[in-house]
């Protein structure tokens, strides 16, 4: 979809939903969550968050994220069962209820990042032992690791904290046997993701997974998988040359909108934020669509005959 078409529909965004018959409503950063007795309905909106707050609404974002997750859930269902029951609408997925495991499984295939907790920052500052793996000296930024590594964190509404497998078991979060299974599945899903991504010209750099236990106590993959919001992708065909020159890889960049807010306000302290420039929002939408088309190999098709909310309402009424 070209950027002019996106600009025409810049205001056709799904900001929030209200479907009381679906169950108890909870609001996540991007998704509206409806909890019924035996299932959960997840509706992906077009909300775009940063600085722990909403900064924009990006056309088609919810649709893209939901469809990418469904693509990857299908590609990995032979490795582990997932929570998907059905997808009655491009923005909607109905999923199984389960007991959520309060650990995010962060898997990294490369050493990179710029935040205080990123693998590269910790390594650059001298850390070599990460609890369940030890890195050698002389590794460069953005280098591929000998094998993917796990850097789990606690799952919290405030701030996630890094935690080692030994601490996870010692703190009684889960038994060693469950950790071993979860670690094994996470690495296998990531390996599959890297293999499929490479056929699309992409490197899956790192990602995070969430797991739960179903009604029989069996491990199940939940939440989202390999979306551009939960994963880092680089372009494969230029990686080696850029790495050898010490240049940053080509990547799917959402940072430009975040930087605009940092330059034009204090997004952590200002009560009211300025409105995001429509041209930047349209460009971000275009990039989401581009990565959807690259990953799935399908053209992005959106029904322009009605609003997203109208379409969702009609599709949910058919259930």
- pLDDT digit of tens for each residue in the chain (319 aa)? 889 999 999 999 999 999 999 999 999 999 999 999 999 999 999 999 998 899 999 999 999 999 999 999 999 999 999 999 999 999 999 999 999 999 999 999 999 998 888 999 999 999 999 999 999 999 999 999 999 999 999 987 666 789 999 999 999 999 999 999 999 999 999 999 999 999 999 999 999 999 999 999 999 999 999 999 999 999 999 999 999 999 999 998 888 999 999 999 999 999 999 999 999 999 999 999 999 999 999 999 999 999 999 999 999 999 8
Report H helices in the chain.
Answer: 3-8, 61-76, 119-124, 165-170, 176-199, 239-244, 255-264, 278-296, 308-317
Residue 51 lies in a domain: no
Residue 183 lies in a domain: yes
Residue 54 lies in a domain: no
- pLDDT score recorded for residue 159: 67
Residue 302 lies in a domain: no
Residue 36 lies in a domain: no
Residue 217's Cα: distance from chain center in Å?
25
CATH code for the domain of 159: 3.30.470.20
Residue 173 lies in a domain: yes
Going by C-alpha positions, the residue among 263, 319, 240, 291 that lies closest to residue 63 is 291
| Containing structural domain, residue 147 | 99-244
Residue 69 lies in a domain: no
Residue 217 lies in a domain: yes
Measured CA to CA, the distance from residue 286 to residue 242 in angstroms comes to: 25
Counting Cα atoms < 13 Å in the Cβ hemisphere of 237 gives 3
Neighbour count for residue 51 (Cβ, 10 Å): 16
User: Domain count of the chain?
Assistant: 1
Going by C-alpha positions, the residue among 196, 211, 23 that lies closest to residue 104 is 211
This prediction has a pTM of 0.95
Going by C-alpha positions, the residue among 135, 170, 137, 168 that lies closest to residue 149 is 135
Whether 64 and 168 have beta carbons less than 8 Å apart is answered as no
């Amino acid at each position: 979809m070209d950027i002019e078409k996106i600009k025409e529909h810049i205001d056709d965004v799904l900001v929030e939903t209200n479907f009381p018959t679906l169950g108890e409503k909870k609001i996540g950063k991007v998704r509206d969550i409806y909890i019924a007795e035996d299932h959960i309905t997840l509706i992906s909106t077009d909300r775009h968050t940063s600085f722990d707050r909403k900064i924009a609404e990006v056309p088609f974002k919810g649709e893209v994220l939901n469809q990418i997750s469904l693509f990857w859930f299908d590609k990995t269902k032979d490795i582990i069962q997932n929570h998907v029951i059905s997808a009655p609408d491009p923005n909607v997925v109905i999923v199984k209820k389960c007991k959520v495991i309060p650990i995010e499984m962060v898997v990294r295939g490369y050493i990179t990042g710029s935040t205080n907790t990123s693998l590269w920052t910790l390594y650059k500052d001298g850390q070599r032992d990460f609890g369940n793996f030890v890195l050698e000296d002389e590794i460069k930024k953005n280098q591929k690791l000998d094998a993917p590594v796990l850097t789990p964190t606690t799952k919290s509404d405030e701030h996630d904290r890094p935690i080692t497998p030994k601490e996870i078991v010692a703190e009684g979060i889960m038994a060693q046997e469950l950790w071993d299974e979860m670690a094994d599945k996470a690495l296998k899903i990531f390996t599959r993701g890297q293999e499929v991504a490479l056929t699309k010209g992409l490197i899956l750099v790192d990602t995070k997974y969430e797991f739960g236990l179903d009604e029989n106590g069996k491990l199940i993959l939940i939440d989202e998988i390999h979306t551009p919001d939960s994963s880092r992708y680089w372009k494969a065909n230029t990686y080696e040359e850029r790495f050898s020159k010490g240049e940053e890889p080509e990547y799917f960049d959402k940072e430009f909108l975040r930087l605009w807010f940092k330059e034009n306000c204090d997004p952590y302290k200002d009560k009211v934020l300025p409105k995001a420039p429509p041209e930047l929002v349209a460009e971000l939408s275009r990039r989401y669509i581009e990565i959807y088309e690259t990953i799935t190999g399908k053209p992005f098709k959106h029904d322009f005959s009605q609003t997203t909310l109208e379409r969702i309402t009609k599709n949910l009424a058919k259930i």
